[in-house]
A and B are shown apart, each in its own frame.
Chain A
Amino acid sequence: MNYLYFLYIEFLAKHNIPKIFGDITFYVIPACIIFVALILVILVLVLFERKLLGWFTQRKGPNRVGFWGVLQTLADAFKLLCKENITPIGADRAVFNLAPIIMFLPVLIALGLIPFSSEFTFMNFQTNVLIYVILATFPVLSILLAGWASNNKYSLIGGVRNVAQILAYELPISFTVLSVIVLASSMNLTQITLAQSNQYGVLGWYWFPCIIGFGLMLICTLAELNRCPFDLPEAESELIAGYNTEYSGMRFALFYLSEYGMLFANSLFISVLFLGGYLSPFGKYLSPILFSGPVGNILIYFEQAFWLFAKSFLIIFIFIWVRATLPRLASFDLLKFSWNILLPLSIVNLLLMSLLKFFVGGVYA
């Protein structure tokens, strides 16, 4: 970010624009980039999921709106915009309206913490990971609010279930993240990414030494995102639509949007922790080889972002694959699975990683 800032100020100085203008606008631009990128990615993501689910079940998926169904998500969004906003009688009006908005905020903040390339991290704190782990649990708050304010038994049960689920699955996540922090000896996501670049290439990334943690992280993230097979808060066979039973129109769209935004953010987070973030899987960046001169040097940053996105989409692919395969767990099994299996496993994993760090040290330091 410092390098970009420097470039920006220099560019402004060339055109005789005062430095104070650059100071003010510099942080607006990346925020806008992140917001636009998020919306675009969600549009792609929804289509990606529906297409893949179609292919997994030998269907075609959406293929009517636009070429190859590309505009399907836009059409859905337009339909939701046209719909009526209904507030049920007896609902807590203020909280009911506030819940979807609160749900969308942490997604935006969480995306700002991710290092998209070596120079582009919107908020580069020393303790990025901690802030992210806290923010990732924020949607549960608004889900509980939505369930509570709806004045509907299904919504309330969905919200409460989600709280129990997050409580159970947040602990294994914390321990797994802690094991990565131990390996990288840093709480900064950029530092963690850089710690994974070594002569072993793909095997040097933390998914290899921390394979148990990688699996745990995938499972727990599924639970945290309320996706199949852990989608108990929205179990349609028992709870109509769970916490968003009473929501319609744009408010429902906000829930939907933030769900997918959180999916994207969490997959980015996993790919930073375990799949080497923006590092190239070939060990070298390709753009300086393909394009010589200054163009290649600038293209490196875009290439880094490309690798990060590719890795995150790989993880999203796994999530969709799981959704297409496994049926939903029972409510009690879900909690038992976490407390009895995942939590001890994550603690063992943390212990193993500490021992690895202690004895092998240098390789993964």
Chain B
Amino acid sequence: MKPARKKRLFFIIFLITGIAVAAGFALYAFNQNLMFYFSPSEVKQGKAPVNKLFRMGGMVVEGTFKKEKNTLKVFFDITDYEKTVTVEYTGLLPDLFREGQGIISRGKLNSDGIFVAEEVLAKHDENYMPPEVAESLKKAKK
């Protein structure tokens, strides 16, 4: 092989290896960071992992919202009208959070079966229902 060609071959191999490493790396990160969605029913059926981040959505049950005095900790139940899971959250709630509203929260299930949320999302539209929530409500009704 001519030296110039050899060089070019090395270069191409180097480039392809680089892309392969990057791709493998991206896929690994991808697998590590996939976050699944579960409805309260699925959580109660034990389908959701304990101590691993996932998302859960549903309606905030009327009359269950409680604030802890002197801290920012709050508790509320969310439901798909089939099963209900208690959520614990510390911090500022989104503008549109209220009882009877559909929300999505991201967090981990602790050993007591309480969902400890890191983030609570409510949508910026009065009529809006997160599609995941709408679907789990539909499923639960069947």
Instruction: Decide whether A and B are members of one complex.
Output: no
| Chain B residues in the interface with A (C-beta under 8 A) | none
